[in-house]
Amino acid sequence: RLLAGPFTKAGTFTRYDFAGVQSAFDWVFITNDKIVYQLQGKEPSDQDVFGWKRVDVSPKIDENSWNMIYIGDFDNDGDSRFDWVLYLNRQDTDQIYKLAGVSRQGTFEYEKIDDLVVHMDGSEVTFASSDAVQWSAGQRLEKLKVISPQDLRGITLKTNLVHHYEGITQQITIEFYCDGSFHYHDELLTGQYDQIIDIRGSKIVIEFGSIYLYGIDQEGQPAEEYAYTISGDGYLYAGRSCYSMDYPDEKGQSCPYGAYLETILVREVCR
């Protein structure tokens, strides 16, 4: 669900010593409007589990502070009071936690969310697969985890050069940009009546283990294309993933017309 962002940061959670004595509740919450609330500054209730109390202090926000987003009923249990996600105030951090509830001692409990990293752009927050942190521009990947359109940002996917009958060749390239848009380019070369399909757009749907693209073609008409089949483990594989709905063998030889994903290229690293 976090990969369906972007989300808007609600504020920042950071430590503040009120009485000179260390306490588990020496925390304040600073909203995006710079309003400060003390954690358990008043008695918590069923409606206000944090016990927020507005205070006039000036806490310090640094890389050890925690940003918070609220995304509604995260676990579909009908109770959204604890449906907050916290992440460390550092770009590309993988320190991401879901508020799980309150212990018998009255302290808050958290659950670690793995395999994701955070991208921050002001108050806008997006989450992506942690694999992307290790990439560098120009790098070729053997496989790519694709859970949401966010995982495709900055990536170029290219099929092999397909040889059809009578010398006809075809190759399909899809570039995904950091702003969430894409450029689809399909060249079918016959030597006489070449066919070019060029589509640009920003609607990318990951559904039923497949990638779907919706945009406008070179004639200004709405167009859609099915791109690749994602394997059961959530990955696209260079040399194996078909440009089709069918399942490939190890070298993509069972792909219809022999079109398979030959290259996964990191064109640019998106932040």
pLDDT (tens digit per residue) in 176-234: 998 889 999 999 888 778 889 999 999 998 887 889 999 999 999 999 998 888 888 88
**Residue 23 sits in the same domain as residue 97:** yes
**Residue 115 sits in the same domain as residue 139:** no
Q: Of the candidates 96, 130, 164, which is a domain's last residue? A: 130
Residue 249's pLDDT is what? 44
**Residue 212 sits in the same domain as residue 126:** no
Out of 14-23, 52-61, 91-100, 250-259, the most confident range is 52-61
Whether residue 271 is contained in a domain is answered as no
Whether residue 204 is contained in a domain is answered as yes
Q: Where are the alpha helices (DSSP H) in 129-271?
A: none
**Residue 112 sits in the same domain as residue 10:** yes
Q: Of the candidates 113, 130, 147, which is a domain's last residue? A: 130
**Residue 121 sits in the same domain as residue 140:** no
Dist CA 24 CA 30 (whole Å): 18
Question: 105: domain range?
Answer: 2-130
Dist CA 2 CA 119 (whole Å): 12
Per-residue confidence band for 253, with pLDDT thresholds at 50, 70 and 90? low
- Between residues 25 and 18, the one the model is more confident about: 18
**Residue 124 sits in the same domain as residue 139:** no
**Residue 109 sits in the same domain as residue 169:** no
Residue 131's pLDDT is what? 65
The pLDDT of residue 250 is above 50? no
pLDDT in tens, 125-178: 888 777 655 677 888 999 998 878 888 989 999 999 988 877 889 899 999 998
Question: How confident is the model over 73-93, as a mean pLDDT?
Answer: 76
CATH number at residue 169: 2.40.128
Long-range CB pairs of 219-225, under 8 A, 24+ apart, other chains included: 223/197, 223/199, 225/184, 225/186, 225/197, 225/199
Residue 4's pLDDT is what? 67
**Residue 37 sits in the same domain as residue 68:** yes
**Residue 16 sits in the same domain as residue 75:** yes
Whether residue 54 is contained in a domain is answered as yes
**Residue 125 sits in the same domain as residue 204:** no
Model pTM above 0.95: no
pLDDT in tens, 23-81: 777 889 999 999 999 988 888 887 788 888 999 998 888 888 999 888 776 666 776 77
Whether residue 149 is contained in a domain is answered as yes
DSSP structural state of residue 242: B
* Encoded tokens for 189: 């070369």
Residue 120's pLDDT is what? 81
Whether residue 141 is contained in a domain is answered as yes
Q: How many domains does the chain have?
A: 2
**Residue 125 sits in the same domain as residue 163:** no
Asked if 98 contacts 85 with a C-beta cutoff of 8 angstroms, the reply is yes
Residue 177's pLDDT is what? 94
Whether residue 177 is contained in a domain is answered as yes
Per-residue confidence band for 254, with pLDDT thresholds at 50, 70 and 90? low
The pairing of strands 182-189 and 27-31 is: unpaired
Asked if 80 contacts 10 with a C-beta cutoff of 8 angstroms, the reply is no
Q: Of the candidates 130, 161, 186, which is a domain's last residue? A: 130
Per-residue confidence band for 248, with pLDDT thresholds at 50, 70 and 90? very low
**Residue 105 sits in the same domain as residue 167:** no
Q: Is the peptide bond before 248 cis (omega within 30 degrees of 0)?
A: no
Dist CA 63 CA 58 (whole Å): 16
Residue 74's pLDDT is what? 64
